[in-house]
Amino acid sequence: MIRVLLAEDQEMVRGALTALLNLESDIEVVAQVGRGDEVAGAALQFRPDVALLDIEMPGRDGLSVAADLDRLLPECQVLMLTTFGRPGYLRKAMANGASGFMLKDAPVTELAGAIRRTAAGERVVDPQLAAQALSEGDSPLSPRELEVLAESEDGSTVAAIARRLFLSEGTVRNHLSAAIQKVNARNRLEALRTARAKGWL
């Protein structure tokens, strides 16, 4: 019997997947959580064989949770399950010790199989997405550039970002300018869009 932990923020999706997985004779969903920061606790308590993690979740994002899980409970395999096939996501997932990466676009029928293969120690990755992740390349942004860009997401002005980060305005402008050019954009908004699309943000 494969013991599964399911982390997914949308109740309805979580419930539906749980019900479906429980129909499989060799799979049992032993824990469900709706927030990223509840995963670690539940995992330690219920000791699942496979953790099925959504990426976009309140509390903590699934990618960083995967890293923790890999440390805290190495015998538990991590299978990421996400809406967005962003190359950066796959990259980060693999770097964080996940063994698999599935899209919600895939047919449900493949899910049980993917779980079985993950539990058996196989790596489950959409080959097309893997190829794209390799060709797209990693984020060209330095940590600071990324941080400044992220801070500008809500429409803050340079001055506001500088205050929040305890930097001079000039420095913020320079970092932003560097970020804009590195992602090959024309302005802040475009830079944000492409960074998001590639999963760098």
Q: Which residues bind a second copy (CB under 8 A)?
A: 9-13, 15-17, 19-20, 81, 83, 103-109, 111, 152, 154-155, 157, 185-193
Q: Which two tokens stand for residue 101?
A: 């990466």
Chain centre distance of CA 19: 24
**Amino acid in position 173:** R
How far is residue 100 from each of residues 39, 116, 137, measured CA to CA in Å?
17, 11, 19
Least CB distance to a second copy at residue 32 (A): 11
Question: Which position among 1, 58, 159, 164 is part of the footprint of DNA (CB under 7 A)?
Answer: 159
196 binds DNA (CB under 7 A): no
Q: Do 177 and 152 form a contact (C-beta atoms < 8 A)?
A: no
Residue in the block written with tokens 């913020």 = 172
Q: How many whole angstroms separate alpha carbon 75 and alpha carbon 71?
A: 9
- Nearest one of 192, 88, 178, 99 to 142, comparing CA atoms: 178
167 binds DNA (CB under 7 A): yes
Question: Which position among 174, 194, 196, 197 is part of the footprint of DNA (CB under 7 A)?
Answer: 174
Stretch that binds DNA, among 30-38, 92-100, 105-113, 140-148 (CB under 7 A): 140-148
Q: Which does 15 bind (CB under 5 to 8 A by kind): DNA, a second copy, none?
A: a second copy
- Nearest one of 123, 7, 130 to 68, comparing CA atoms: 7
Least CB distance to DNA at residue 139 (A): 10
Of 67 and 90, which has the nearer Cβ to a second copy? 90
Q: Which does 158 bind (CB under 5 to 8 A by kind): a second copy, DNA, none?
A: DNA
Least CB distance to DNA at residue 179 (A): 8
Least CB distance to a second copy at residue 72 (A): 27
Q: How many whole angstroms separate alpha carbon 21 and alpha carbon 2?
A: 10
As beta bridge partners, residue 27 has: 2
Rule CB under 7 A: which residues touch DNA?
A: 142-145, 157-159, 167-171, 173-177, 180-181, 186-189
